[in-house]
Amino acid sequence: PNIGSDGVCRYLKVRLHSCCTLRSAALFITAKLQTMPYTPFMHEFEQLPETLPVFPLSDAVVMPGADLPLNIYEPRYLDMVAAALGSHHMFGMVQPDPTRHEEPEALFGTGCGGRITRYQETADGRIELVLTGLCRFNIREELPGPGDYRLVAPDWEPYRTDYELSRSNDFEHRDRLIQLLDSFFTATRMQTDWKQLLTIPADRLVNTLTTVLPLDPMEKQALLEAVTPQDRIDTLITALEIECHE
């Protein structure tokens, strides 16, 4: 693995059951955990683009610092990836909004932009890639795009703090979160390295768990929209209590 300039690199391994990302089988995902910037190729906050292609996908959320594997096969999204690779290497993940029944194409108002950090073409015409989350955004407006994929004007400013990540793993309700994770991992037969998990800074831990845990789409959206790390931790605890019936 590539170690950042500070020599810190943490990993969390979990099993993700997914029918919409890399494969329909259970996956082991390794999420690299270090401070911004993740590599010299990552954009500074002031360099984030004024327009952004978006990939609408339910159950799929990426958070700053976490890796999301994606399997791209629809022609319009193959075009989207090609356009991103030809410019800033970025696109956004936004979930469809199931509460707006009269608007089947409606999206939630908040998503997260990421950078394509790994990429592979397949013999059957697909693209397998990894999107590394950079910064969340609110959608100012949807714009006419150059192709069939969707394009938005993102407002990055409300989430500027995504570039100010902490090294601390000391946070309120930490013991309760660990207890619930233990119950959730046991119930879902997920695996993790507890020794490594307990050393991960709080903001990086909750961002990674938001990305990889098989939670309800509305729960993932609530986590995505929670601004501060402590807000996200409290929201994750509530979601896990619902999932674990505790």
Q: How far apart are CA 212 and CA 12, in angstroms?
A: 10
pLDDT in tens, the chain (246 residues): 332 222 222 333 333 333 334 332 223 333 343 444 467 788 889 999 999 999 999 999 999 989 999 999 999 999 999 999 999 999 999 999 998 878 878 999 999 999 999 999 999 999 999 999 999 999 999 999 888 999 999 999 999 989 876 656 667 788 898 899 999 988 888 888 888 888 888 788 889 889 988 899 999 999 999 998 889 999 999 999 988 875
Query: Residue 75 has what pLDDT?
Result: 95
Query: Residue 77 has what pLDDT?
Result: 96
Task: Judge whether 13 and 192 are in contact, CB under 8 Å.
Answer: yes
Q: Classify residue 14 as exposed, middle or buried by CB count within 10 Å of its CB (0-12, 13-18, 19+).
A: buried
Query: Residue 166 has what pLDDT?
Result: 61
Query: Residue 111 has what pLDDT?
Result: 98
Query: Residue 194 has what pLDDT?
Result: 84
The strand pairing partners of 91, in sequence order, are 114
Q: How far apart are CA 206 and CA 204, in angstroms?
A: 6
Query: Residue 21 has what pLDDT?
Result: 41
Q: Whose CA is closest to 192, among 202, 182, 201?
A: 182
